[in-house]
Amino acid sequence: MLGSNNIRLEDFDISPRTGFLPEEPPLQRLQPFYKDWEDIVCQAPALLRAEEFRTRVERLPVHPVSELQSERDWKRAYLLLSVITNAYIWGGRRPAEVLPPAVSIPFIAVSAHLELPPTATYSAMNLWNFTYLQGSDLSVVENCSILHTFTGTPDEEWFYQVSIAIEARGAIVIPVMLKALEAVREDESKTVTACLLEFANCVKESGVILERMYEKCSPEVFYHQIRPFLTGSKNMSAAGLPNGVFYAEGEGKGYWHQYNGGSNAQSSLIQFFDIILGVEHARNKNSDLISIAPGAELSFIEEMRKYMPRGHRLFLQQIASTANIHEYVRRFSINDDITMAYNLAVSKLKSLRDIHIQIVTRYIINPSQKPLRGPNDRVNIATTSSRKISKTELSGTGGTQLMLFLKQSRDETEETALRL
């Protein structure tokens, strides 16, 4: 698939049909050499409920990664070790500050191969954590099944299924917008207009899919049972990880690491939407970068690209260097058709963010304002967030101030629209 400036999607591990999702279903099981990993992940929900997960992990031997061969093997190993890592860290009454060598050593090696951080990312829990019947429409939520969850609940499965369906629906528009970039270069305004209208329809339908979250995912189950396991180790002092997590390598050796948790900001598709429309994020009114942490040099959005597969990350960088639709349309301010098409696309993206804010309000803000029921001596993002007075203080699993970040992203999207 060739697009603007001869961009071949396949070179970036992107499919013209399934987008950032793998065209071939993710591997469902590694060879018997890694049976220990497979067994403990399959049994994870039961072991976590019985509070036996950490004990099982601590009995694991250190398996070398030398038996991993295909890229599907490496991605499967990354998923398994992501689940084991986050379940180990957050699967007790208090978070575990030390990750055993049997997990940290192979996870660091697998992550280095894939150029991803050794933590549960959006890629692990969504892009490489499903199966489906070949030829089925993945944009239909029910058409995929989830391989692994932390809780074993249908709510958690549905949570991932909705994200996968949005990825699948958005896949169609990736080659469309590459065509739009080529049309900008050739000064074919009618083609750009048509592509923008198709883009707007795609984003609108993505919002319809997102609103289906309410159907089978309970806010209480999500907030108290699912969300804690998706939490990272960065900016989590209040949740019991003041220093992050020590990735042990044996004999007292190892390193402290702090990683963001899984976040929809790690979706390459959502960042593609922004880049293609020229939406700029994470700048205040003085155009300075928002400080996510002391000394931070990257915005949160830019930081999240480190949590994406290498090919997807490079693709976004390539598109960001060539995307000029916003400036092109601005030159045609007297042309109502192209400007209205562009503004419609921006409006639909803003509406998608409005839906996201509504979901966050229902699934995170509202549950956090309710008193915890019964005795709960656990320390995690749910119990500590529920003790906060101001909802503006609530942190996302990625470690950001949640509503501040989401509302700013929504407002920055709206500000991208052009005046007729």
Query: What does the pLDDT look like over 149-181, one tens digit per residue?
Result: 999 999 999 999 999 999 999 999 999 999 999
Give the pLDDT of residue 404.
Answer: 86
> Average pLDDT for residues 50-58, to the nearest whole number?
98
CA-CA distance, 146 to 45, in Å (whole number)? Answer: 14
Where do the domains of the chain lie, and which CATH numbers do they carry?
Answer: 4-414 (1.20.58.480)
How many percent of the chain have pLDDT more than 90? 78
Q: pLDDT-derived band of residue 293, with 50, 70 and 90 as boundaries?
A: very low
Q: pLDDT-derived band of residue 3, with 50, 70 and 90 as boundaries?
A: very low
> Average pLDDT for residues 413-420, to the nearest whole number?
88
Structure tokens at 420: 């007729």
Structure tokens at 84: 């084991």
pLDDT in tens, 209-244: 999 999 999 999 999 999 999 999 999 998 999 999
Residue 259's Cβ-side half-sphere holds a number of Cα atoms within 13 Å equal to 30
The binding site comprises: 356
How many percent of the chain have pLDDT more than 70? 89
> Average pLDDT for residues 392-410, to the nearest whole number?
71
Q: pLDDT-derived band of residue 355, with 50, 70 and 90 as boundaries?
A: very high
The binding site for heme b comprises: 356
Is the confidence at residue 398, as pLDDT, over 60? Answer: no
pLDDT in tens, 297-344: 467 888 999 999 999 999 999 999 999 999 999 987 667 899 999 999
CB of 37 closer than 8 Å to CB of 84:
yes
CA-CA distance, 98 to 246, in Å (whole number)? Answer: 5
Give the pLDDT of residue 26.
Answer: 96
CA-CA distance, 405 to 235, in Å (whole number)? Answer: 15
Choice between 134 and 370, residue whose per-residue pLDDT is larger? 370
CA-CA distance, 275 to 279, in Å (whole number)? Answer: 6
Give the pLDDT of residue 1.
Answer: 43
Give the pLDDT of residue 382.
Answer: 80
Interior/surface letters 59-91, b for 16+ CB within 10 angstroms, e for the rest: ebeebebeebeeebbbbbbbbbbbbbbbbbbbb
Q: pLDDT-derived band of residue 260, with 50, 70 and 90 as boundaries?
A: very high
pLDDT in tens, 262-279: 988 899 999 999 999 999
Is the confidence at residue 205, as pLDDT, over 70? Answer: yes
Is the confidence at residue 284, as pLDDT, over 60? Answer: no
How many CB atoms sit inside 10 A of residue 56's CB?
Answer: 17
CA-CA distance, 267 to 164, in Å (whole number)? Answer: 10
Is the confidence at residue 395, as pLDDT, over 80? Answer: no
Give the pLDDT of residue 137.
Answer: 93
**pTM of the complete model beyond 0.85:** yes
Is the confidence at residue 373, as pLDDT, over 80? Answer: no
**In degrees rounded to 5, what are phi and psi of residue 245?**
-125, 135
